[in-house]
Amino acid sequence: MWTKIGDVHCITADLNIQKGAFDKAAEAWLCALTAFEVARRLADENDPHCGDISTKVEAAVQRFGSLERVQIACSDQSEFPAYYLPVGGPDSCTPAVICISSEEETAATLLGRLLPVAIGRGMSLLVISHDDISNHRRGQSELFLSCCLEYLSLRPDVDATRIGVFGDGLSAVLATDFAAFDRRVASAVCDGGLWGWARTLASVGWMTRTAVNEDLASARRSRLVRQLKCPVLVVAGGRGAVSVPEAIKLQAHCTAARIDLELKMPRVARTPLREIENFVTSDNCIFGWLEHKLARASAP
């Protein structure tokens, strides 16, 4: 049903293009992208139609004329692809966000999901694939993401002092490592170090068969998040990499220590088969937070 709804919006967009109603066409394409994302999430992962939906998303994404397909050059002479969506002209000097897809999604899939909530917020987007960044030894992903930041910093339409990062799913871990590594990051939607901490807890529990002292756990959480020198938003629950109880504890410690960390828990609808995250409200909250933080970063 949702795929058919998306198809109808695409047809409407094409008709509006023929009439010269470009704003209405763009609105219809955004509605189509949201419908396709709903269809993709409701479909079983083994459904053969999932590939068709992804193809429809990529086709709709390409309809946005200002979208650029760019290559990010790295210090080791390698390159990897990215989508760049500018928000204004060459002299606009606006904020930008590096967006990393989740581990099971392509950059085009993430861009299709984010376009409806990101457009109109005055922020350019550089969207990259989790696989292009994560398939390297530890320490390499931070260097590659710094190349993304360097690319944006050299663009005349981007304010180099207002570049944030958003890691979706397990890419929240990459966003944390990057924000700790590169102090130029102005804001980060990440896991706050909790994924690594959860793995440490599991390892200690398995080796010692004892519970970790809560005072030691508190100190460890605080030490990890203090490495981040920018405002942080942690998304817990849903399809994220962070458990809600650990995130609540982390937020409490950060509040006491006056560390700028906020917590977001997506709304989830339970179905007989699985939980479905309300990605529209979640993404809207995330990009509202980024818009707010990056706007403040420009203040003298």
| CATH number for the domain harbouring residue 70 | 3.40.50.1820
- From 46, 65, 84, the end of a domain falls on 65
Tokens of 263: 């917590």
Residue 12 and residue 84 share a domain = no
Cα(225)–Cα(27) distance, integer angstroms: 39
The CA distance from 27 to 3, in Å, is 17
Q: Are residues 11 and 130 in the same domain?
A: no
Work out whether strand 94-100 and strand 124-128 pair parallel, antiparallel, or are unpaired. parallel
- pTM reported for the whole predicted model: 0.90
What pLDDT is stored for residue 299 in this prediction? 46
Is the domain of 184 the same as that of 272? yes
Q: In the structure encoding, which two tokens stand for residue 287, read together?
A: 């990009």
> Do 59 and 206 reside in the same domain of the chain?
no
Residue 51, domain extent: 1-65
Specify the pLDDT at position 8. Answer: 95
Percentage helix, strand, coil for the chain under 3-state DSSP, each rounded to 5: 50, 20, 30
Residue 187 — φ and ψ, nearest 5°?
Answer: -165, 150
Handedness of CA 202, 207, 210, 214 (dihedral sign): negative
In the chain, DSSP assigns E strands to: 68-73, 79-85, 94-100, 124-128, 158-167, 187-190, 232-235, 261-264, 268-270, 275-277
pLDDT of residue 107: 95
Please report the pLDDT score of residue 300 as a whole number.
42
- 77 and 198 co-located in one domain: yes
Q: Within this chain, do residues 59 and 71 fall inside the same structural domain, yes or no?
A: no
Specify the CATH number for the domain of residue 47: 1.20.58
| Domain identity same for 139 and 46 | no
Alpha helices per DSSP H over 22-161 = 22-42, 50-61, 107-118, 130-134, 140-153
Q: Say whether both 153 and 284 belong to one domain.
A: yes
**The pLDDT value given to residue 253:** 85
Q: Among residues 47, 65, 83, which one ends one of the domains? A: 65
From first to last of its 300 residues, the chain has per-residue pLDDT tens of 889 999 999 999 999 999 999 899 999 999 999 999 999 888 776 666 677 888 999 999 988 878 999 999 987 778 999 999 998 777 788 999 999 999 889 999 999 999 999 999 999 999 999 999 887 655 688 999 999 999 999 999 999 999 999 999 999 999 999 999 999 999 999 998 887 766 666 555 555 666 555 566 666 667 778 888 899 999 988 776 678 888 898 898 888 888 899 999 888 776 666 677 889 999 999 999 999 999 965 544
- Angstrom distance (rounded) from CA 268 to CA 265: 9
Question: Quick one: 128 and 224 in the same domain?
Answer: yes
Are both 184 and 290 inside the same structural domain? yes
Q: Which of 45, 65, 85 is the last residue of a domain?
A: 65
94, 17: one domain: no
Domain match, 83 and 133 both: yes
Q: How many domains would you assign to the chain?
A: 2
Backbone Cα Rg of the chain: 20
Q: What is the DSSP letter of 74?
A: -
